[in-house]
Amino acid sequence: MGHYKLIFGGPVGAGKTTAIAAASDVPVLRSPPGVGGPGAHPAHAGAILDYGAMTLDDGSTLHLYGAPGQDRFDFMWELLAEGALALILLIDNSRPDALDELHFYLGAYSRFIRDTAVSVGITHCDLGGGLRLGDYRAELERAGFGCVPVFAVDPRSRRDVCLLIEAALSVLDPVARA
């Protein structure tokens, strides 16, 4: 039995907190909302950190950490990524700048991703947005991340979140992680 760690990253509102809550077997620990200060726009009032955990079939624990979406907390991204197996990147498809956000977070986590693994979950597909999964795959290919699993997901669905986790873990080299 071991202890492993995954990071959930992406912009505020993409579903990181919700996804961790859906996958976690324990009550989720969350930093208080409203870090944007009194009167802050809701898009700037996300959590600083979320934590949950899953028990795997072999009894191991998979620790789930939600990184803050605001770039002013980018110093935490590297700290949280230390010792993690992979990144689960969530992108909100309903935003007009969804591809820009994809590029931003790929760049922010690029060194970590190249050393580990990533899977991308596209959320809020039901709210519109003109992008399809193929558009995201094409952008990933152009950015040099051609073999990244990409899925449309509902972050409230344990099944969808577990699919993202399994996809990221499936591309890890077991010899390199031993």
The C-alpha angle with vertex 29 and arms to 15 and 59, in degrees rounded to 5, equals 95
Spatial CA neighbour of 87 closest among 153, 9, 154, 21: 9
Q: 69-85 pLDDT, tens per residue? A: 888 887 888 888 999 99
pLDDT-above-70 percentage for the chain: 88
Eight-class DSSP state of 128: -
Q: Which residues of the chain have pLDDT under 50?
A: 35-44, 175-178
User: What pTM, to 2 d.p., does this model score?
Assistant: 0.88
Q: 23-40 pLDDT, tens per residue? A: 999 999 887 655 444 444
The 8 Å CB, 24+ separation contacts for 28-35 are: 28/52, 35/68, 35/70
